[in-house]
Structure 1
Amino acid sequence: MSTTETSALAVQAATSATGRRFSPLASAKLKQNLRWTSWAPAVITFVIAAALWQITAIANPYVIPTIDQVWMSLIKDADTYWANMLVTSLEVVVGASSGILAGFILAIIMAEFQIMERAIMPLVVVVMVTPIVAIAPALVVAFGFGMTPKFIVTALVVFFPMLVNSLAGLRDVDDRALDVMKTLHASRWEIFRDLRFTGSMPYVFAGLRIALPLAIVGAAVAEFVAAGQQAGLGSLVTIAAAQANLPVTWASIALLCLMGVILISLLALVRERVLWWSDGAAVGR
């Protein structure tokens, strides 16, 4: 039997196993999430935090706004918040996608050719330890006052965690499985496709779990420090804070938090579909 036929049979077996095991696993995960012990602690924590916030805001009206003031600001100026949220979302989508893709591709190159890691990684570390607030003005000088500097800042923020996690995953290969594939005379591409790539997915999703919230941070920081177009939730925070407009400031911050929660929730849903086999132990517990 040829290597290609062996790989095809392995993929077919894995697909069949997925069809047999995904449904019971998903059902167990759903039952676990519906238990009150899963969601009640978080709800209680948020209720307590909201109550403390409201008490503090009433006692210190010039420090933080009350929750109802923030809510009324969101309702009153919904169009303004929506327009700025779309701008920040565009920065997150374009910047994060570019940084994540670049980090994963470079991780593949480094995993396959160690000499490339020795050559490139020191430069990557130098760039990553440079404060992003110092790089942003230089990017404005180089690329103008449009959206490009904000895209680059966001991409740089997510690039390093994605690179490090992906590289660790691509190298964390089961030696026994690798020996079997080499015994079957599998090509370098087949080893990467059937072993390294699939085995790296838990690490990749771990990197995404770090990178996606950082993308929100990167977009907001880019709007803080990159001069030019005054749009986006980060710019709205800066303008409102300069005017001591606490409801607008905290409403913008709340929307940034909401964006982060949405991204993490979507990532969790995708992870459950892709890495159903990785959650089996957790469900069993």
Structure 2
Amino acid sequence: MTPKAEPVHTAHPPAAPTAQLVLAADAAAQARLRADRRRAVSKAVLRALGNALITLVVLLVLWQAVVSLTGISPYVAKGPLDVWNHLFADEDAAAHRAVLFPLVWQTLADSAIGFVVGMLVAIVLAIAFSLSKSVEAGVMPLVLLLRTIPLVSIAPVIILITGRGTTASVAVIGTIVVLFPALANVLFGLSRASRQSLDVVHVFGGNRPMAMRKVNLPGAMPSVFAAARVSVPAAVTGALLAEWLSTGLGIGGAILKFNAQAQFAQLWGAIAIITLITLVLYNIVQVAESVVLTRMGMKGETR
């Protein structure tokens, strides 16, 4: 008699421990990813603070050097210590701040209008130019024309169309100042899209707008943030111009009054405050850039 064949038993690992190992590995990977993101954010914040501190020190040194070495009368030229005393140490410092701070808030509001409208127009135009060369050929000469003509020379026409002292005049003047550098940065970012990724979209039946949404725009995020960083000081400049030429409000409108009334400490204080706030806003955008790009997996493209 032939012996019966013994049944062959194949060893199968239990399913539950395997699933637990996979979940544990996944949880560990997610924890490492969160830790990397926190480190990247902390590094970005520290780098922004360091850059801001260095810039502030350089500005203070240059400011004091101009006041001390150019021979300008101390009655007109105020140094950093003079402005500090005027705003925080003198007996009337609270009254001085009460005059300046509402003006600063007005200028920031006007800057926000120019920044938001200018960035939106720049992004929309950049997308339109990338999708249609005909649109680019028709509109780009107008953008270049606005860039080459001094804003002061066309401001009367802008104010005549939009109305003196209106929000529309602030938006238009701020947009003109912000538009060109923001548009150039966003266009550059959209043109850097991966050719392989675009081919994948087309292979799967995607059209050009879909490729723009899935590939070009996400890939252009570093350039969009670069445009935002450049646009922060440009928006403040545009707000000051709009206030000086149109509304007569904010820091831009008060500069002429301070100069005419020989309130030079107020004048220097206003300039110092708006410069400091611009520096802070620039670094806030830089930190936001690092956070967003890190979450998008584009950490290596932050600066």
TM-score with structure 2 length normalisation?
0.76
Matched, 1:170 2:183: no
- Residues 38-81 of structure 1, C-alpha deviation per residue, up to 9 Å, x if partnerless? 56856764674576467559984134113343124333321211
Matches within 5 A, 1:1-285: 21=33, 23-27=35-39, 30=42, 45=58, 48-49=61-62, 52=65, 55=68, 60-74=73-87, 75=93, 76-147=95-166, 148-226=168-246, 229-276=247-294, 277-280=297-300
* 8 Å CA contact retained: 1:57, 1:64: no
* 8 Å CA contact retained: 1:65, 1:247: yes
| CA positional deviation for 1:252 | 0.9
Q: Equivalent residue of 2:74, what SS?
A: coil
Query: CA separation in 2, counterparts of 1:18 and 1:191?
Result: 30
Q: Given residue 23 of structure 1, which amino acid in structure 2 is its aligned partner? A: A
Q: Given residue 108 of structure 1, which amino acid in structure 2 is its aligned partner? A: I
| CA positional deviation for 1:22 | 5.3
Query: CA separation in 1, counterparts of 2:149 and 2:237?
Result: 16
Change (3 A) 1:254 1:189: same
Q: Given residue 96 of structure 1, which amino acid in structure 2 is its aligned partner? A: F
Change (3 A) 1:195 1:254: same
Query: CA separation in 2, counterparts of 1:268 and 1:122?
Result: 31
Point out where structure 1 has 5 or more consecutive residues left out of the alignment.
1-16
* 8 Å CA contact retained: 1:99, 1:156: yes
Deviates more, 1:168-177 or 1:42-51: 42-51
- Residues 18-50 of structure 1, C-alpha deviation per residue, up to 9 Å, x if partnerless? 985453254156358759xx5685676467457
* 8 Å CA contact retained: 1:216, 1:259: no
Query: CA separation in 1, counterparts of 2:192 and 2:45?
Result: 31
| CA positional deviation for 1:282 | 7.2
| CA positional deviation for 1:155 | 1.2
Q: Equivalent residue of 1:77, what SS?
A: helix
* 8 Å CA contact retained: 2:96, 2:266: no
* 8 Å CA contact retained: 2:181, 2:230: yes
Q: Equivalent residue of 1:109, what SS?
A: helix
- Residues 221-252 of structure 1, C-alpha deviation per residue, up to 9 Å, x if partnerless? 222223xx432011122211223322111111
Q: Equivalent residue of 1:244, what SS?
A: coil
TM-score with structure 1 length normalisation?
0.80
| CA positional deviation for 1:265 | 1.8
Q: Given residue 191 of structure 2, which amino acid in structure 1 is its aligned partner? A: R
Q: Given residue 215 of structure 2, which amino acid in structure 1 is its aligned partner? A: L
Query: CA separation in 1, counterparts of 2:184 and 2:68?
Result: 43
Q: Which has the larger radius of gyration?
A: 2
Query: CA separation in 1, counterparts of 2:225 and 2:206?
Result: 27
* 8 Å CA contact retained: 1:57, 1:66: no
